[in-house]
Structure 1
Amino acid sequence: MQETRLDTARIRAARQMIDPLFLDTPLYLCEALEPDLGCAVSIKLETANPVRSFKARGTEVVTGLLAANGSRAAVCASAGNLGQALAWSGRDRGLDITVVASRFAPAAKLERIRALGAGLELVDGDFDMARERAADIARHEGVRLVEDSLDIETCEGAATIGLELVDAAPSFDAVLVALGGGALATGVGHVVKALAPGVEVICVQPLGAPAMTRSWRQRRVVTTDSTDTIADGVAGRRPIPAVLDDLLLVADDAVLVQEASIIAGMRMLLDRAGLVVEPSAALGVAAILEDRDRFAGRHVATIVCGGNVDIDAYHRWIGAAPLREP
């Protein structure tokens, strides 16, 4: 039987390495969503921290270990949120951080990376091209390459969200998790299946960036030539084999949702919950909108994983979005 790379004891220990600013984020039943969605929805609000995403849970663990081992520098590729988180965590530990990103990434995310003191290098391509460039820098400069989802610390840092979910009362029937590189889904999924095995773990990805979902369905790595989604935070083309192996052990389902549903989910979170979220954070609501019968009468938790949006783009999306499903 395939063994996972994740370890529940290490995940519990990871909480001690993470700044409390990023722990115990709000979790609450959002009653205003129920009339439109037909089910009880609890929100795990991972935007309520200084970098406005869950990523710092992982980078706190990574940089804590690097600093303890005497490392002074690290580099990563990022669609925006990991770069902000690594810049924050590295700054607090005196590390020299370089972030490689697509020049087409949301400007707000790039500006925040610079503001946090990290070096920023832009490439004329997508996230996977940035990943290749970051690997080149690490090799040539002899510094640590931080690879989201591949580095187990990023998965186990994200998994601390799962500890907070399973400690909640009452328990949930299902947890909806955004699926991109896989750190969040494998981390949360591992804890949920270890400690609350009756809870369904459902991963959600945009139809325009389906590589990891297709890989999960076919039980082998499936790559795509391109992506076409506003959910830049989950828009990878090349799944990591080791991460897919972990995901196969914990995900009960992986679903793809349309762009119009993502936008409708963002609009609903604004109108009903007062939350400004990035597209990736609305994937859970989008999944409910597209399959209300599946979730009818159930209690589901959705992880609102990021709130770093380009304001101009956000206004365009929300202004054009219907409140209900398209």
Structure 2
Amino acid sequence: MQETRLDTARIRAARQVIDPIFLDTPLYRCEALEPVLGCAVSIKLETANPVRSFKARGTELVASLLAGRAAVCASAGNLGQALAWSGRGRGLDVTVVASRFAPAAKLDRIRALDARLELVDGDFDMARERAAAIARSDGIRLVEDSLDIETCEGAATIGLELVDAAPPFDAVLIALGGGALATGVGHVVKTWAPGVEVICVQPLGAPAMTHSWHQRRVVTTDSTDTIADGVAGRRPIPAVLDDLLVVADDAVLVREESIVAGMRMLLDHAGLVVEPSAALGIAAILEDRDRFADRHVATIVCGGNVDMDAYHRWVGARS
């Protein structure tokens, strides 16, 4: 495999730094999904932890390097929660910049974890610009999801747990936003299980990274339009795209109705309440059943922070 920014020795060492509460998350074959999807599906559940997403695997590494100092990040909600949780335990003064249109449940949880929360009247990329400005003016560490290698290598520990599992998978479906999860897990899978297909999944309404992967250059968009707020970026980071081009076998886009159907399936057949980004893998299977027929597919359920009023509107509205 070509080189990426990630290092396998550091990824293995990361397991000694990350709080064990975020490690060795459930991985199980969900047989109830198989008749409706036409393939074997294993779920890697990253919601059964204090911040209900995979993000703390990365923020644990970041915070371990910054004990007693201050940091700021932009977040769609999950990274902010994770950095606040990791920072609180290490005496780190955390500021989170988010869109005021982010799910209220995510914003409330950031506040509850003692972080300072600043809201902007725009999307994630506007929050990223404001976070960078705060870092410059206050002279504090800017934590940039996916660009900071700790966020990728923390996520990569999920890959270690996947490749250690038996039986092996034919494919792994990974939600694609900024790229930390996809590049981290993809790096490990392609290092230790190169025959497993790494497929990234993004909403049709937030396609920047997927278009960038296919065109092998950074492609930006003017706006996003998706319920999957956790992956709704407009401006891919060049260094992250370079890594993704090495480790991903494919990147696909899925429709909003497929995301909602995936959320409903995870509730009905797996008993899981998930945020839209976590249902992208199921959505990809629904949109291309022939591709996955009779294969064993792993999907990472990456987050469970969802506004319940919105969730009931989406999942309760059956067509």
Q: TM-score, normalised by structure 2?
A: 0.99
Does structure 2 conserve the Cα–Cα contact (< 8 Å) formed by 1:284 and 1:302? Answer: yes
Q: 1:65, CA displacement in angstroms?
A: 1.3
1:271 is aligned to 268
- Letter paired with 1:250: V
2:76 is aligned to 79
Q: TM-score, normalised by structure 1?
A: 0.97
The 5-angstrom pairing of residues 27-106 of structure 1 reads 27-67=27-67, 71-106=68-103
2:48 and 2:64 mapped to 1: Cα distance? 22
In structure 1, which of residues 174, 179, 199 is the aligned counterpart of residue 176 of structure 2? 179
The 3-state SS of whatever aligns with 1:223 is coil
The 3-state SS of whatever aligns with 1:105 is coil
1:15 and 1:112 mapped to 2: Cα distance? 26
Which digits, 9 at most, give the CA deviation of each residue in 1:198-245, with x for residues without a partner? 000000000000000000000000000000000000000000000000
Which digits, 9 at most, give the CA deviation of each residue in 1:134-166, with x for residues without a partner? 000000000000000000000000000000000
1:143 and 1:35 mapped to 2: Cα distance? 52
1:95 and 1:198 mapped to 2: Cα distance? 41
1:149 and 1:66 mapped to 2: Cα distance? 18
1:135 is aligned to 132
Return 5+ residue gaps in structure 2 as ranges. Answer: none
Return 5+ residue gaps in structure 1 as ranges. Answer: none
Residue 205 (structure 1) aligned with residue 202 (structure 2): yes
Q: 1:38, CA displacement in angstroms?
A: 0.1
- Consecutive aligned runs of 4 or more in structure 1 exceeding 6 Å deviation: none
1:279 and 1:230 mapped to 2: Cα distance? 6
1:152 is aligned to 149
Query: Please, what is the CA RMSD of the aligned residues?
Result: 0.8
Residue 316 (structure 1) aligned with residue 316 (structure 2): no
1:258 is aligned to 255
2:318 and 2:116 mapped to 1: Cα distance? 36
Aligned length: 319
- Letter paired with 2:15: R
Q: 1:3, CA displacement in angstroms?
A: 2.9
1:230 and 1:4 mapped to 2: Cα distance? 31
Q: 1:41, CA displacement in angstroms?
A: 0.2
2:71 and 2:2 mapped to 1: Cα distance? 31
- Letter paired with 2:43: I
1:175 and 1:297 mapped to 2: Cα distance? 14
1:154 and 1:242 mapped to 2: Cα distance? 13
1:131 and 1:104 mapped to 2: Cα distance? 15
- Letter paired with 1:64: S
Q: 1:2, CA displacement in angstroms?
A: 5.9
1:254 and 1:127 mapped to 2: Cα distance? 21
Identity %: 89
Q: 1:26, CA displacement in angstroms?
A: 0.1
